Amino acid sequence: MAKYRYADHGKDETQQSGDLTVRPGYNVTVVKPVFRAKDSAIIFRPLPAIDNGEPIPYRYTTAPNDFTDWIRTYPAVSYAGAGKTQYSFILYDVAAGIEQADQNPYIIMRNAIAAAVKEGSVPGEWNTLILGNPPVLPKPSTLTFIRAIVYSCGNTLYVGKNKVPLGAAKKDKLVIVKLSKSALKSMQSQLNEVNSGYVGDPYDYENSMKYGDPTFPLSGGRFIRIMNRENLEKEEVLEMEEGDIFSGARSSDETEFKPKGYVSFIEKNLVLAGKKTKITPSIPDKVWESI
């Protein structure tokens, strides 16, 4: 079987009621960010890839996207269907090379319907399949999967008195964080940033990369915090001094402006509600052995 490698296969090629991205029966908990909640974010500590039974650094080289197998991105569809019958699924395994995009049944079907809708050769009711808001048959995109320990997601906090981060308790299932294309975007660019002032060993990723190695070693690592930009503005207000609120200028369209997209932070300490804590991403050996 072909081996997955992010640099080759993690390319952008293209309210969920059914998640078919993981086969039923697998002992896995899939965590999807919840950004609708007030001031919400997802905070997780990615786990390292394993080679010959040992954890390894997060990338092979400093080349863009040359990550080891701690992260995978697949061509996928999210929220296909209508009403309460919607599904998300991976289109094909890019590493196996068995199916190409032009051979995939969903892509073939959607392209044919989209062409017919554009030509006007089908009944008007078919338009919602492609042009609806949202469409019944959404465009293929990507989904990214990361093995991780989760510290916070939406309004759910997994750290605190008598709490254990999700994925770190002995009886926890394997935790996989699932990110959409837009949620991955800013994090991915940060993971590829080289430390421009470093002149040492390029394979010393803790120093050669601007944000260090988020997965390795177990005694180090980073927290990855992703939130939508609207919640980021609220967090920035918490840091303002009293006089600062009167120092700006009014925008003519500020009442209509709503920040879009997501922003990510790669951090050495856990940040909650805009405040830095003393909690680090270090994973004790006994915890690593249990997961």
Query: What's the per-residue H, E or C state across 36-84?
Result: CCCCCEEEEEECCCEECCEECCCECCCCCCCECCCEEEEEEEEEEEECC
pLDDT digits (tens, 9 = 90+) for 168-210: 998 999 999 999 999 999 899 999 999 998 999 999 999 999 9
For residue 149, how many C-alpha atoms fall within 13 Å in the half-sphere facing its CB? 28
Give the residue carrying structure tokens 């915090």.
Answer: 225
Helices (H) and strands (E) in the chain, counts: 7, 14
Interval 149-161 mean pLDDT: 93
Residue 255's pLDDT band, with cuts at 50, 70 and 90, is very low
pLDDT for position 101: 75
Q: Which contiguous run of DSSP H or E holds residue 261? A: none
Percent of the chain topping pLDDT 90: 62
Residue 42's pLDDT band, with cuts at 50, 70 and 90, is very high
Interval 20-42 mean pLDDT: 81
Residue 228's pLDDT band, with cuts at 50, 70 and 90, is confident
> pTM of the full predicted structure?
0.83
Helix, coil or strand: residue 233: helix
* Cα 173 from chain centroid (whole Å): 19
